[in-house]
């Protein structure tokens, strides 16, 4: 299924755009995250971190997307769209009541303070989130280090959580930019990349009704290797369409896009020599060439080269900020968010529906307790046992999804990630392959969203 936040007529879409990583190319979880995690640990040890951290293994049940890392206190936080705290963990220890108030007296964070609070929204961030928890866990429990509120002391040295954050970010950059993660991935594509024989079929159908383009932050050589693997079914794999070069499925291919910069001023547009992978010097100013590959550029240049306007484009990506939010806010592109976690989320949502129903009935029971009281009432209902029950059911529900709970909610409260998905993604699904099951004349209709006064007050005729 494809889920709808804003109505979209598929027949009005003249152009289908794709990101590559985690959209066209799905990486196998948890194998891919385990690889990235190992490379991150090895890099940290190479710059001076204790060898003991190599004992940590990636745990796919711990992190979820949309967590916030507090670089002042080293905590991993789950928050709602306003910055109210839903879950707080220091390492692998989940903080309760008084401990949370020690760090956050208002149970609230100024999430726009980007120097302190860092949102971990991408699938690449899952390993990063788990690594913060591992490092905090290690230094907190290592007898050589003295625990402080904002870091650790070791003799005359002080290591702040902020410096730890910077080290991990630099390690992330190293792993991605040095090419070591890409190298290991290409050495064993079968282990790390999902190959779906239906991909060529869907893209060829899309190309019959509109234009198709690829815009990825990856370089050409890596893009070529991954895409060649995805479209190569010469080894007896059953493809739904005849074999042909992967570039022929696209009207435009842009690599090194540097999103989200791509959706603003962008960078210089250059042509790629597909024989060598090297860039041609000078800015490309000519017309669109069939099967040509470009580097850099901007979303405006994509519209110009393809001869389309923002609303004509449906862009598909996995990055809520880099792909979806920026393309929607700055360009008015229609957006489709790939949420691979959705399959698991829906499974728990249906299997554990009785827990959510219990939460709903507890909320209704609370409302009924106050129904016949007004400003003149002196009695005060005892709701402590109901609140405890709500907390217990919420925790039980969270644990069904993983140690950090659901990507979308905490009990009956929605997460920051859920809010951003609803605001910026017109459509979303576990995979873009779900488009196979819809005709290109389909009208995706969003359900009407009722405001509080509309959903709680019944319609009645006024005489």
Active site (annotated) includes residue 235: no
Q: Which long-range contacts (CB under 8 A, 24 or more apart) does 154-162 make?
A: 161/70, 161/71, 161/72, 161/73, 161/74, 161/136, 162/71, 162/72
DSSP assignment of 342-384 equals HHHHHHHHHHTHHHHHHHHHHHHHHHHHHTT--TT-------H
Q: How far is CA 38 from CA 26, 58, 175, 375, in A?
A: 20, 8, 10, 61
Reply yes or no on whether 237 is catalytic: no
Distance separating alpha carbons of residues 377 and 367, to the nearest angstrom = 16
> Is there a contact between 172 and 128 (Cβ–Cβ < 8 Å)?
yes
| Contact partners, residue 317, CB within 8 Å, separation at least 6 | 18, 19, 23, 323, 324, 327, 335, 336, 337, 338
Q: In the chain, count of helices (H) and strands (E)?
A: 15, 21
Q: Which helix (DSSP H) or strand (DSSP E) does residue 94 occupy?
A: strand 93-94
The 8-class DSSP code of residue 450 comes to P
Quote the Cα angle for 16-20-22, to 5°.
Answer: 115
Distance, in Å, from the CA atom of 377 to the CA atom of 355, rounded to the nearest integer, reads 33
The answer to whether the CB of 109 falls within 8 A of the CB of 70 is: yes
User: Which residues, including other chains, have CB under 8 Å from residue 192's CB and lie 6 or more apart?
Assistant: 27, 28, 31, 32, 35, 184, 185
d(C-alpha 5, C-alpha 11), whole Å: 18
Catalytic residue among 19, 70, 224, 256: 19
Which tokens is 461 given?
Answer: 């005729």
Separation between Cα atoms, residue 266 and residue 151, nearest integer Å = 38
Of 86, 40, 95, 93, the residue nearest 67 (C-alpha): 86
For the chain, helix, strand, coil in percent to 5 are 40, 15, 40
CA-to-CA separations, 15 to 174, 326, 327, in angstroms, rounded: 35, 18, 14
DSSP assignment string, 9-25: EGGG--EEEE-TBTTTB
* Active-site residue set: 19, 21
């Amino acid at each position: 299924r494809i889920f709808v936040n804003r109505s979209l007529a598929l027949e009005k879409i003249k152009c289908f755009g794709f990101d590559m990583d985690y959209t066209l190319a799905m990486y196998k979880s948890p194998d891919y995250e385990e690889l990235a995690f190992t490379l991150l640990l090895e890099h940290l040890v190479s710059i001076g971190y204790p060898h003991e951290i190599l004992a940590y293994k990636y745990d796919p049940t711990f992190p979820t997307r949309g967590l916030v890392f507090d670089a002042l206190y080293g905590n991993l936080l789950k928050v709602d769209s306003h910055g109210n705290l839903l879950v707080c963990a220091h390492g692998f220890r989940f903080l309760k009541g008084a401990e949370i108030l020690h760090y956050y007296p208002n149970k609230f964070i100024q999430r726009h303070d980007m120097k302190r609070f860092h949102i971990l929204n991408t699938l690449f961030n899952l390993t990063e989130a788990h690594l913060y928890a591992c490092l905090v866990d290690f230094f907190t429990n290592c007898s050589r280090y003295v625990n402080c509120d904002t870091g650790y002391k070791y003799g005359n040295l002080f290591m702040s959580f902020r410096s730890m954050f910077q080290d991990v970010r630099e390690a992330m950059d190293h792993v991605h930019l040095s090419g070591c993660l890409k190298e290991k991935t290409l050495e064993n594509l079968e282990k790390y990349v999902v190959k779906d024989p239906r991909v060529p079929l869907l893209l060829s159908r899309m190309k019959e009704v509109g234009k198709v383009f690829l815009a990825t932050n990856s370089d050409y050589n890596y893009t070529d290797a991954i895409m060649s693997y995805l479209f190569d079914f010469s080894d007896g794999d059953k493809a739904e369409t005849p074999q042909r070069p992967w570039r022929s499925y696209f009207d435009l291919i842009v690599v090194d896009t540097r999103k989200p910069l791509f959706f603003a001023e962008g960078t210089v547009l250059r042509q790629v020599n597909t024989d060598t992978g090297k860039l041609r010097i000078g800015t490309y100013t000519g017309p669109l060439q069939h099967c040509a590959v470009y580097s850099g550029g901007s979303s405006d240049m994509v519209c110009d080269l393809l001869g389309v306007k923002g609303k004509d484009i449906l862009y598909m990506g996995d990055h809520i900020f880099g792909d979806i939010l920026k393309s929607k806010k700055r360009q008015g592109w229609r957006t489709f968010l790939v949420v691979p976690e959705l399959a698991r989320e829906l499974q728990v949502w249906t299997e554990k529906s009785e827990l959510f129903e219990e939460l709903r009935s507890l909320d209704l029971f609370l409302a009924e307790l106050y129904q016949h009281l007004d400003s003149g009432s002196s009695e005060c209902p005892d709701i402590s046992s109901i609140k405890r029950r709500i907390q217990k059911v919420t925790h039980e529900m969270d644990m069904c999804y993983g140690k950090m709970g659901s990507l979308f909610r905490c009990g009956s409260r929605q997460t920051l990630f859920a809010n951003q998905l609803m605001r910026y993604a017109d459509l979303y699904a576990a995979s873009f392959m779900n488009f196979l099951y819809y005709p290109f004349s389909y009208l995706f209709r969003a359900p009407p969203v009722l405001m509080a006064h509309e959903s709680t007050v019944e319609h009645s005729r006024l005489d």
